[in-house]
Structure 1
Amino acid sequence: MVNTNNKFDGAEYVSLYKATRVRDDHRFPNSSTGYLLEEKQEGTSVSLQNQLDYREFTDNMNKASAGSSSKVKEGSSHPSETSFKRKRGVFQKDLQHMMYGFGDDSNPLPETVALMEDIVMEYVTDMVHKAQDIASKRGKLLTEDFLFLIRKDLPKLNRCTELLSMNEELKQARKAFDVDEEKLAQPD
């Protein structure tokens, strides 16, 4: 539905809100615009302090998501659409192999792989942002922040702890191998 007067009402705002995947509790850093999203305890309704011009809203959304891609803005919990688009194809081969392992065709449709990659990227980005929010109080992101996020999902938690312990064993084995190699390289 297109509004011809460039102002939009609450229903259009809620659909725009869902399309941009902004969280209810997200507060935009630019307070001069006069808008504020408020979290509601019941439901997902969003209140708007002022009526906004659509262009102003989208410009401010772009400003809020722009900036350094390596740092997460304080209070921001949604992925930047531009940085999300740059990372296409990162997991393509791995996902094809995993999909084959779970019973899909050995050469799945590119659309299927792209959809799976979108889901994976959204999940990983969301988890990293949540972990960063937890770690912001302490100042440093640790693996325990991720374990804290999946603490209620026991299969994931068990698999992560198994992989972490296996990684630690591999580090110890590499360290022992490097020490033995250095001893052999030194003449007595």
Structure 2
Amino acid sequence: MEVLARESTRTGREGEQILQISSVKLNISENSSSVQLETTREEKDFYGPDSRNEVKVTATITTAPRVQTPVLNANICSVIHPDTVVAHPFLCTHYIHCDRNQPRTRPCPGGLVFDPDGKACVTPRNDLPCREIKPCDNINGGHFAHPTNCHLFVQCNQGESQILSCKDTMVWDETVSTCVRRKRGTECEIDE
């Protein structure tokens, strides 16, 4: 997306600088975590054309990346014991607890990570890096949406996770636990 701003001028008495902003351009990329602001300004004074100076200023503001939290499939609660908590498939600082047969994502308190072996939130340790969390430990069956790609989903089979893909024109729909046709012109939107 590109946004252009209006022209702005500040005037003054003889010998004072005049700031004229001739254009402001804002570039925002949907897939990026940066915003680029570009401003062109012209500084003038009343001492003649030789003293004019055009300045182009570009600033880049980087924001924290967006995190898409996966939606959990309700059938996960039918394949684990109701009192059991399991590791969240993609967030090491969270776990899943079944409440009235519905999966609920619960965060670990301040800075703790979920230990899938101890089934509790603990202080981060070197032997508990997030990348080694196995989302399907002790689960046979069940599906999860992939956290970053709507064409993919995770299937649990005898404690092992497998990333599977929908066909090219299909996306994963958590509400029906299957791949469905996506709407035209929109990425990852599903037909209703």
TM superposition score normalised by structure 2:
0.23
Computing the radius of gyration from Cα coordinates, the structure with the larger value is: 2
Bigger RCO (CA 8 Å, 6+ sep): 1
Q: Which has the higher helix share?
A: 1
Q: Which has the higher strand share?
A: 2
TM superposition score normalised by structure 1:
0.23
